[in-house]
Amino acid sequence: MSREELEAWLRLLSLEFSANKLRALLERFGDPDSVLSARMEALREVPGMREADVAAIERVAGAAMRLPTLLETGDAQLIVMGKPDYPRLLEVLPDPPPALFVWGELQERDRFAVSVVGTRRPSAYGRMVAERFTRDLCEAGLTIVSGGALGVDTVAHRAALEAGGRTVAILGSGLGSLYPAENRTLFRSIVESGGAVISEYPWDASPDAWRFPVRNRLIAAWGLGTLVVEAPEASGALITARLAAEYGREVFAVPGSIDNPKSKGCHALIKDGAALVEYAEDILNTLKIQTDPRERTLSLPILTETQEKLLGALDLEPRHVDVLARAVGLPVHVAQAELTILEIQGLARRMPGGAFVRVL
């Protein structure tokens, strides 16, 4: 993305329009620069546009824009919906963010993730459980997604780092206004470990209370499932769990003492159909995740371009070799040979009937 394109995106995002309104503008005009230079009459024709919105666009169109240092140096980037590096799991949302600020690095394997959420004031039991589940899920190769808040979120991020796993924090503020301030060192550690800190909000957006429930939809959509460790009845973690169910994701809840009010939310989820989980294996089995029982390092072997394509086409559900071959544009016999190599490397597993699954 050129500097001019990035500056146009920063101007457009600074308007704080809803994701749906931004998408309507981009669908109508094509790109941020065209939106900002559009005639007022044309802007008024976009569904949902108010006079105040039109005036706001006119106001920011010529505003001076200074690139934040992290964007200037390339340590952070703006990824745009429709591009290959945009998290495809977010595309199930009714209102996916048109763009995301990413400090750090996203990887293809991050689409195999579990979201871990819970109260900001966990008990000793809640902390222990969050650490154990996170560690075991990381050892299975899953990325841990959470919201960077104090409490269970922080425990999950730190446990993932200590286990040598990957973790992604999705914030309820802009990357230029990291919140909570107590976790700024943690956020830097996530980035330095190869993970990512993400926000859909303008760079300097403050941590206003309304942003966090909106942000929760990204946490819910990103994970193949959402694990609620400990949550009282009015916890924001329950919003994330409800959204996860709406998006067709699995919801897992850890039971606790019937006398502990911090377990009331988890028990309510279980009554409503969430899976009661005691071990990480319960989550892995529900998600049908195949793990490699052989010991090996977390680093992946060097793959050819063809093998990378096949690996990207593999999923947790069995896919027949014919389907995989068509997906990557290979003859079936070539795909079969390359999948065998991936199987030897412990990255794929052969299933009955000529199908293969991804191994994490």
Does the bond joining 84 to the residue before it have cis omega, within 30 degrees of 0? no
- Same-domain status, 119 and 268: yes
Smallest CA-to-CA distance from 230 within 115, 129, 114 is with 129
The Cα-based distances of 278 to 74, 233, 239, 253 in angstroms read 42, 21, 22, 9
Query: What is the band of 292 on the pLDDT scale with cuts at 50, 70, 90?
Result: low
- Same-domain status, 248 and 208: yes
Is 297 part of a structural domain of the chain? Answer: no
DSSP letter at 91 equals: G
- Same-domain status, 348 and 214: no
DSSP letter at 182 equals: G
Q: Give the phi and the psi of residue 156 in degrees, each rounded to 5.
A: -65, -45
Which one has a higher pLDDT value, 235 or 185? 185
CA 188 – CA 185 distance, rounded (Å): 5
Smallest CA-to-CA distance from 116 within 168, 161, 164 is with 168
Q: Is 73 exposed, middle or buried (CB count within 10 Å of its CB: 0-12, 13-18, 19+)?
A: exposed
Report the pLDDT value the prediction gives residue 46, as an integer from 0 to 100.
93
Is 228 part of a structural domain of the chain? Answer: yes
- Same-domain status, 269 and 329: no
Residues 203-235, buried b or exposed e (16+ Cβ, 10 A)? Answer: bebebeeebbebbbbbbbbbbbbbbbbbbbeeb
Q: Is 136 exposed, middle or buried (CB count within 10 Å of its CB: 0-12, 13-18, 19+)?
A: middle
Report the pLDDT value the prediction gives residue 301, as an integer from 0 to 100.
58
- Same-domain status, 182 and 107: yes
Q: Looking at the whole model, is its pTM more than 0.85?
A: no
SS3 98: coil
* Least confidently predicted of 113-117, 130-134, 172-176, 257-261: 257-261
**Per-residue pLDDT at 259 exceeds 70:** yes
**Per-residue pLDDT at 193 exceeds 90:** yes
Q: For residue 45, what is the domain's CATH number?
A: 1.10.150
**Per-residue pLDDT at 204 exceeds 90:** yes
Host domain of residue 338: 305-358
Number of independent structural domains in the chain: 3
- Same-domain status, 172 and 44: no
- Same-domain status, 278 and 317: no
Q: Which residues lie closer than 8 Å to 167 by C-beta, 6 or more apart?
A: 143, 144, 145, 146, 156, 157, 160, 161, 190, 193, 195
Is 77 part of a structural domain of the chain? Answer: no
Q: Tokens for 201?
A: 């909000």
- Same-domain status, 26 and 169: no
Strand partners, 80: 99
CB 116 within 8 A of CB 156: yes
Q: Which residues lie closer than 8 Å to 7 by C-beta, 6 or more apart?
A: 65, 67
- Same-domain status, 255 and 209: yes
What is the Cβ-side half-sphere exposure of residue 269, based on CA atoms within 13 angstroms? 36
What value does the mean pLDDT take over residues 74-87?
A: 92
Structure-token match 């200037």, residue found: 72
CA 172 – CA 116 distance, rounded (Å): 16
Rg (CA), the chain: 22
What type of residue sits at position 271?
K
Q: Give the phi and the psi of residue 36 in degrees, each rounded to 5.
A: -70, -25
Is 78 part of a structural domain of the chain? Answer: no
Is 73 part of a structural domain of the chain? Answer: no
Is 292 part of a structural domain of the chain? Answer: no
CA 124 – CA 319 distance, rounded (Å): 43
Smallest CA-to-CA distance from 153 within 132, 169, 166 is with 169
Q: For residue 338, what is the domain's CATH number?
A: 1.10.10.10
Query: What is the band of 177 on the pLDDT scale with cuts at 50, 70, 90?
Result: very high
- Same-domain status, 334 and 272: no
Number of residues assigned to the chain? 360
CA 246 – CA 357 distance, rounded (Å): 26
Is 298 part of a structural domain of the chain? Answer: no
Q: Give the phi and the psi of residue 82 in degrees, each rounded to 5.
A: 100, -15
- Same-domain status, 263 and 311: no
Q: Tokens for 137?
A: 């899920």
Which one has a higher pLDDT value, 78 or 360? 78
Query: What is the band of 296 on the pLDDT scale with cuts at 50, 70, 90?
Result: very low
Q: Tokens for 335?
A: 């795909």
Is 276 part of a structural domain of the chain? Answer: yes
CB 8 within 8 A of CB 31: yes
Q: Tokens for 141?
A: 């190769």
- Same-domain status, 350 and 270: no
SS3 317: coil
Q: For residue 271, what is the domain's CATH number?
A: 3.40.50.450
Report the pLDDT value the prediction gives residue 315, as an integer from 0 to 100.
81
CB 207 within 8 A of CB 177: yes
DSSP letter at 290 equals: B
